[in-house]
Amino acid sequence: MTQQLQNNTVLTAIIGLLLSLIVFLVTSYFFTKRNKTDYRKKIETANNEMLYSIRPLLVEKKVPSKDILVAVRFSTAKKYGVEQHDLYDEFSLTSDLINETIANVFLTSDEKLEFCNLLQAIK
């Protein structure tokens, strides 16, 4: 009788340990996935802020230097707690701004080309 009780206790402990391990693995998988999603949202927000900070300069037909763009990237990465290399580089930033310029229906063709040529200077 005592042998059977001891076997049930050991079996119960092993099953409990396995269930705890399964719960831990499933929980950590979902938290890791959520953290990656949160990080991607931070990067998207930071990239949008970079675009919004550069756009007013272009309206006044001013071109920021690469040093200024590096400073903006550094500051934005620090503000949002992301890595600099995950944010837009000069090429990506100017490509998105060119795309926005071309898609803008309120600009004439000549204005679009002028803004695009300004942006090409950054690349």
Helices then strands, counting H and E runs in the chain, come out as 4, 0
What pLDDT does 111 receive? 92
54, pLDDT greater than 80: yes
Work out the number of other CB atoms within 10 angstroms of the CB of residue 72: 18
Q: pLDDT higher for 15 or 90?
A: 90
> pTM of this prediction?
0.72
- Say what percent of the chain tops pLDDT 70: 93
11, pLDDT greater than 60: yes
Return the HEC string of 6-20. Answer: HHHHHHHHHHHHHHH
Domain residues for the domain of 19 are 2-120
Cα–Cα distance measured from residue 94 to residue 76, given in angstroms and rounded to the nearest whole number: 17
1, pLDDT greater than 70: no
What pLDDT does 2 receive? 55
Classify residue 81 as left (phi > 0), alpha (psi -120 to 50) or beta.
Answer: left
What pLDDT does 66 receive? 87
pLDDT tens across 55-112, in order?
999 889 898 888 999 999 999 999 999 999 999 998 999 999 999 999 999 999 999 9
Work out the number of other CB atoms within 10 angstroms of the CB of residue 101: 19
The number of folded domains in the chain is: 1
What pLDDT does 21 receive? 86
